[in-house]
Structure 1
């Protein structure tokens, strides 16, 4: 059967993608120092596919049509034009067979995923790929994109996201073949882009989250959506997508790498890499 090797939680802000595309010199040096070490570890894992949990930024969906959860089931996903042209990154290669296995497993388990057989993906998905793999001519893995609504209320709770991850983990464990699979939860950390709290950063909360997501994820599921917004800002509420990633992993995990940086953009950027190979579900 397939094996879920690892999970990664990582921010997806565009500025992080720009910083990680370069050679790590100049102003980007501090970002590379904190985020680039995970690349060799991911390379050594020799993953076949990554499941990427992300939110769409009105590229494929809109406020008029925004599913709570959606999954891509295509052979490829083009970088979306977000109003200023698409990111100059490779087309994302899909794994339609794994997508349909997840669909056939997770929907009967009680999670009503919208199925997208055509889907353009924006920086929410492609920036994490840049963080993990740099700027290759072709992404070295296939991808299953899973979109989560963290944009318009009502949004799914932290517990619901964690439970979705559990269902995904069970589905991967029943997938025939020997695929080596990773899962990436994207978004955050604390930031708010508008209103009276624009520029809000909560480093204490972010550092707590980076630790708890590894060892005490259930404590994070007890926080309400209002708690996440209060502590991490309106866009910091994206952190529930990391709980989908963590829910897919087992209990006996280990933290391989963790990084945190607050750049000029007033968006706290974080990363945690989790080895799942010691886990039993």
Structure 2
């Protein structure tokens, strides 16, 4: 049967892609962030996952404010990256895993989640940059993709509790998958940041560290706030922590072991972090 080998959580700021393009990884501003990735890469090289189930949020390539699903699952044979206007290169395309996607969709619907199914889907920097950070020299991505998009943009947002429940429903679905894949769970986004309005530039290290301290052993602690409270604590874009909460749920209800953790502030007006978890 399939096995979850671990969970990879990281920020997906477009500015990170710019730093990669410019070769700024060892400059004083960027080095503390990029220093978090050698342990991730070594672990991935040893574990060799076959497929990644990635919880992220769309930034306008697939959904806009007039049509914004709460939860959407990709069921495509492949996923292309596209130009978002950040001046970044178009990244490599991803191979999908339609059979596993449909298994997840079927199971989630039986678990009474109302899922938007996407048989064509683009991926933006929320997926491509974390993969570029993990496999910087790969000529093609060495892993198949099952993308799950969570609305972190348009009111009303799903609650942290509902996102944790979504992740746990994904975990149950993976436990019933008949394949032998080694599965990597990913959560991308955040941490605290606000890009617009009177609080533009807002970051909250205290809340970020609260999330990081509880992610492995006590993810329920992250569900004690409403979405509005999360926006107040983390900033209006910092609600991307919902992606991390869902991904942690997909690791299962048991405790996880923190293998690696890095936190740096600021990266392009964002508190950035990278965490690697393994099932305990």
1:79 aligns with 2:120: no
| Counterpart in the other structure of 1:9 | 9
Question: Runs ≥4 in structure 1, deviation > 6 angstroms?
Answer: none
Indicate if the aligned counterparts of 1:19 and 1:31 stay in contact, CA closer than 8 A: no
**Matched ranges for 1:113-192 at <5 A:** 113-192=115-194
Counterparts of 1:4-43 in structure 2 under 5 Å? 4-20=4-20, 22=23, 24-27=25-28, 28-43=30-45
- Alignment RMSD, CA only? 1.6
Map 1:84-103; keep pairs closer than 5 Å: 87-103=89-105
Paired residue for 1:261? 264
Q: Secondary structure at the match of 1:259?
A: strand
Q: 2: CA distance between counterparts of 1:132 and 1:20?
A: 12
Shift of 1:264: 4.9
Normalised to the residue count of structure 1, the TM-score between the two structures is 0.94
What is the CA distance between 1:30 and its match in structure 2?
A: 2.3
| Contact 1:10 1:269 (C-alpha < 8 Å) held by counterparts | yes
1:161-216: CA deviations, max 9, x gaps? 00000000010011112110011011110000001110001111111111111111
Partner secondary structure for residue 263 of structure 1: strand
CA contact (8 A) 2:55 2:148 kept: yes
Deviation (angstroms), 1:10 = 1.1
Match of 1:48 in 2: 50
Measure, in 2, the Cα distance between the counterparts of 1:217 and 1:70.
22
Structure 2, unmatched stretches of 5+, are none
Judging changes above 3 Å, is the alpha-carbon distance between structure 1 residues 219 and 84 closer, same or farther for their aligned structure 2 residues? Answer: closer
CA displacement 1:225-256 (0-9 Å, x = unmatched):
12211111000011011111111113131000
> How much has 1:73 moved relative to structure 2?
0.5
Residues 85 and 197 of structure 1: is their aligned pair in 2 closer, same or farther, counting only changes over 3 Å? Answer: closer
Aligned to 1:203: 205
Distance in 2 (alpha carbons) for counterparts of 1:74 and 1:174? 21
Q: Is the partner of 1:4 in helix, strand or coil?
A: strand
Contact residue 17 and residue 88 of structure 2 kept, 8 A: no
Q: Is the 8 A contact 1:69 1:148 kept in 2?
A: yes
Contact 1:69 1:146 in 2 (8 A): yes
From 56, 63, 66, give the equivalent of 1:64: 66
Structure 1 residue 103: Cα displacement: 0.8
